[in-house]
Amino acid sequence: MKKTIVSISMITAALISLQPAVAQVKSSGKYILKGRIAGLDTGKIYLSRISDKQVTPDSVEAKNGAFTFTGSIVEPLLYSLKPASGKTAKVFFLESGTITLEGNKDSLYKATVKGSPVQDVYAGFSEAWKPVSVRAGDIYTRLDKANQGGKVKLDSATREAFEAEFDALQGFHDSIVNAYIRKHTSSPAAATIILDRFVTYQQVDKAAELYKVLDKKVQQSFYSKEIVKALESDARTSPGKIAPDFTQKDTTGKDLKLSAMRGNFVLVDFWASWCGPCRKENPNVVAAYNKYHEKGFDIIGVSLDNKKEAWTKAIRADGLTWYHVSDLKGWANEAAAAYNVKSVPANFLLDKTGKIVARNLRGEDLEKKLSELLQ
């Protein structure tokens, strides 16, 4: 789906309104988490807090597949439950009170959780969003067939038809998310949905608007605060801002600094060898590079890989002949953090002075923008 570029003024206005002066959401208290996992007799089960690797996971021994966790929690938060011998995990909201979990070891992600009103809202969104997923799957299947997995360039009529479908899909997606959030403004789960559906895809204007409709107490929840942080970070990489500088090692192990590339228009392209959409987009980036490199256009690819061999193999396979860097930290890539990159592919087009002029240019949009700047 297409991503929206937001003006600095919109972000600034949104941030001014994100200052509720009320106490933090209170669901502080004891919890009891009881459950049974079919297919599991004994062994350790781990309960880990999502998005906070500094918190040591809790663990208990299962007996005939049954387990019980007890503890305290300050507000509803997302946790992951996984047996030591299991291949899948269940992500759910944990809050004060008695909560039960029932599932199968081999498909634990499908486990049923009862006793958490916040989890009910969180899980309910999957059902509400299902029509979007079905429609998207159909479009992507037909697109993949039409362009033979990205190997064939579509004619203008076919391309425009698909673009119209994606525009309609985006509108349908937004209507589903908006309706669900507005129906559940008093639940902290609504904030996680905003993060997932809009912040992750850098559609911060939509995230800011939906943040405003959340109840004041919910706006002080952990996940709402993450929305505010994302909006603030996004404002630092809006068009018109000087791009954050960074230094990372290239494929030969030498340091390469972004600011050393000033003097040309530069595309900072975040990608990874394991990212299917990135690999499908690469032919478009190659075409733009080949057409405009001699006119003053450069690219620095920032990989979110953590294995050098996979990274360099993908560079060779896709014919990416520009500059490449990575710290091989995967999603913990420091440059990606500086640019608030939550999904890939993601890119930022810089002018000769290092100022951001556009973000997330896909397909022919990149060539169109370069033609404006370099012709």
Length of the chain: 375
Q: Which among 197, 244, 255, 190 has a CA at the least distance from the CA of 218? A: 190
| Residue 298: CA count within 13 A, CB half-sphere | 17
Strand ranges in the chain using DSSP code E only, listed in sequence order: 29-38, 42-49, 58-63, 66-73, 77-83, 90-94, 97-104, 112-114, 247-250, 255-257, 265-271, 297-303, 323-326, 346-350, 356-359
The domain locations on the chain are 8-23+118-235, 29-113, 247-374
Q: 136 with 169: CB under 8 angstroms? A: yes
Lookup: tokens for 212: 């405003």
Q: 1 with 232: CB under 8 angstroms? A: no
Banded pLDDT at 26 (limits 50, 70, 90): very low
- Note the pLDDT of residue 3: 38
- Note the pLDDT of residue 23: 34
- pLDDT tens for each residue of 267-287: 999 999 999 999 999 999 999
Q: How far is CA 29 from CA 71, 73, 163, 224, in A?
A: 8, 6, 50, 20
Helix axes 204-213, 156-183, angle to 10 degrees: 20
- pLDDT tens for each residue of 107-120: 999 999 999 999 99
In Å, how far from its chain's centre is CA 165? 23
Residue that is written with structure tokens 């993908």 in the block: 314
User: Which one of 2.60.40.1120, 2.30.30.40, 3.40.50.300, 2.60.120.580 gives the CATH number of domain 29-113?
Assistant: 2.60.40.1120
Quick check: 34 pLDDT over 90? yes
Q: 315 with 184: CB under 8 angstroms? A: no
**Mean pLDDT of all residues in the chain?**
90
- Whole-prediction pTM: 0.76
Q: Which fold has domain 247-374?
A: Glutaredoxin (3.40.30)
Lookup: tokens for 358: 């556009």
